[in-house]
Structure 1
């Protein structure tokens, strides 16, 4: 009888597809709010350089829209020739600090601010976007094909810019996630109804990206396990989609997430809901939408470490594919717990906003746990410049 294998050390090197990372800690994608005119700024480069210098194995640039209509904010980065030199400077800066760097690719779909972008937001089905008081447009088959192709083209550009990985955004009721959600997808065609149909855009997009990049970079998918809304995508269906992605061989790992940017954004974050700060950060008519429906939309949930673990265990039991545990990873203890539960990587967001050098501090024995208090007041700062409000600027 063979001896049981011990859990890996999260702070030791690990393989992610074709890439070797110096440790198993990923900086989760958090929109940085540092892309004026949809271009890379020195501030954005410094943001990721600090995370890299602070010890994370890989940092994730968010959010890199695959097309202008796929942005979730007017000044958000999207893949165009003018953006590429800045992205190359960014990857060089991260590599100089010894870390890898990933680009999060996605299309905002119904989350896109239609009024700011000047075009209707695309979704699986036509619906009202309560915050902006506008209607989305049901995507056509041609739209789905175009967006899958644009993901593949963006992944090729990521290689040109020196990225080590791309992360496909299949969560939070963005474009792909809106198809997966039974609540948002009311279609009667081959993209609606049973799960296999609703999963077609996700599988098509992942396959298009893999065909484009081969094994030159790592490919991850960020997949919702639970929309956190009645009638939404749920963990049993997420397990099946994960099985299909694994069988297709299109991704090297899945990062497990939850929540809906449309219907329940705080479900992912847990902790305090900074409603007043959200309203103060927004312009009309979005400010009015938050004031009218904010209490229903921006709910608060008790925080606990590793708060997505119970759902993630069900995905872990369904596939052998490497998985990234996200949600309440704030200490060496929770990292070790993730490894003992069979997860290959962990992802941190708020903890690294509070302390970009947290991993170095843990490795040096200076700190066991993040100083983050989960007040979530960092969330409204994404509209100007994402930061921890407890850390003085400059």
Structure 2
């Protein structure tokens, strides 16, 4: 199977450009002051005023930028790409794996065998900053010893009830934060604090923010993880948070595309089915993603949702493996060319495991427009998916 530009290169470009930026997210996150969070006025571009660097060299510069010098390819990215000289190495970059245990030793075998591009923490791996830091140092050593590229180390660090590391200051849920009527500046600071917390422990990627518009008050899986029920408000705070996080050198992952906020079924237990048409998506669910993807914010990565939208894709397949949703809406219509990551494809997610066999899910995800597969909790499933991609 022919892969897109390896995930590590896409993310390296974002992290390197963020680390080289001059903007201080804690002092000037927005242009012209923050809009009132109580308003659902049309979104206005905010940020430093400079568009994020394009990840696609074929994209022409924006108007007014012709005086800027042609960007020079970063030798670190070129060096990374040069190491991907076998099918196994390339396919490995498409995997984000979980592992058992509370040390890096438990990850040694899957890292050496699968050669993954990324690794993701679950609650069972570490509950303190000291342990997480030690594990990340160990993971770097395992990757180096295996002769593979440095791992992207990811974690869910949303705040509130979704925060894996218990002794790091918890800034509260997104909903609790939003109820304080925060400005864009406040949301950007929230992202910057999370970036400092994560970088201190050695993480590279935060599986946040939640960009779902929580329009269903009975939603069993999103709820307080969302900034609220108003699309423009969620978009404003989510985008400001992303700028703070990415300016701090942490890759942001907006989730769960195309939207998990109107569901009444937990995708861990079954497949949520949303009878929503394109007009509704354009005015509610897609608004935060569209704003986050815009150059003023430059979201690096998007996580897919295991939800079905039969009015968009009559096959009834989960969005994660739906070409009309990922390839059609996210890639083509919204123009997103960053990293697309699946939600977990492991056995804990019945929405996918009940729909298609693991090997078929892996291949279908990539055909739909996904770049990286997250597989937690099942070593055998990780191998099945890797082998299916090699054979495709």
TM-score by length of 1: 0.52
Identify the residue that residue 311 of structure 1 maps to in structure 2: 325
Q: In the TM superposition, what are the counterparts of 1:323-334 in structure 2 within 5 Å?
A: 323-324=339-340, 326=342
Q: How big is the alpha-carbon RMSD for the aligned residues of Structure 1 and Structure 2?
A: 4.8
| Structure 1: distance between partners of 2:198 and 2:162 | 22
Compared with structure 1, are the counterparts of its residues 249 and 57 closer, same or farther at alpha carbon in structure 2 (3 Å cutoff)? farther
Out of 214, 218, 227, the residue aligned to residue 181 of structure 1 is 214
Shift of 1:210: 1.6
Out of 357, 375, 379, the residue aligned to residue 353 of structure 1 is 379
Which one has the bigger strand percentage?
1
Identify the residue that residue 96 of structure 1 maps to in structure 2: 145
Shift of 1:331: 6.5
| Structure 2: distance between partners of 1:11 and 1:200 | 30
User: 8 Å contact 2:254–2:303 — kept in the other structure?
Assistant: yes
Identify the residue that residue 132 of structure 1 maps to in structure 2: none
Out of 245, 259, 269, the residue aligned to residue 226 of structure 1 is 259
User: 8 Å contact 2:117–2:152 — kept in the other structure?
Assistant: yes
Q: In the TM superposition, what are the counterparts of 1:61-210 in structure 2 within 5 Å?
A: 61-63=120-122, 77=126, 80-81=129-130, 83-97=132-146, 98-99=148-149, 100-110=151-161, 122-123=172-173, 125=175, 140=180, 147-157=190-200, 161=202, 165-171=204-210, 177=212, 180-184=213-217, 194-210=230-246
User: 8 Å contact 2:156–2:162 — kept in the other structure?
Assistant: no
Compared with structure 1, are the counterparts of its residues 205 and 241 closer, same or farther at alpha carbon in structure 2 (3 Å cutoff)? same
Shift of 1:138: 7.4
| Structure 1: distance between partners of 2:373 and 2:158 | 21
| Structure 2: distance between partners of 1:11 and 1:321 | 10
Aligned pair count?
A: 269
Q: Which residues of structure 2 form unaligned runs of 5+? A: 13-76, 85-89, 266-271, 309-315, 346-351
Q: Which residues of structure 1 form unaligned runs of 5+? A: 1-6, 35-40, 64-72, 127-136, 260-266, 268-301, 369-394
| Structure 2: distance between partners of 1:82 and 1:242 | 34
Superposed CA offset, 1:288-329 (max 9, x none): xxxxxxxxxxxxxx9889645443232223223224253559
| Structure 2: distance between partners of 1:258 and 1:364 | 24
Shift of 1:181: 1.5
| Structure 2: distance between partners of 1:314 and 1:198 | 20
| Structure 2: distance between partners of 1:58 and 1:212 | 21
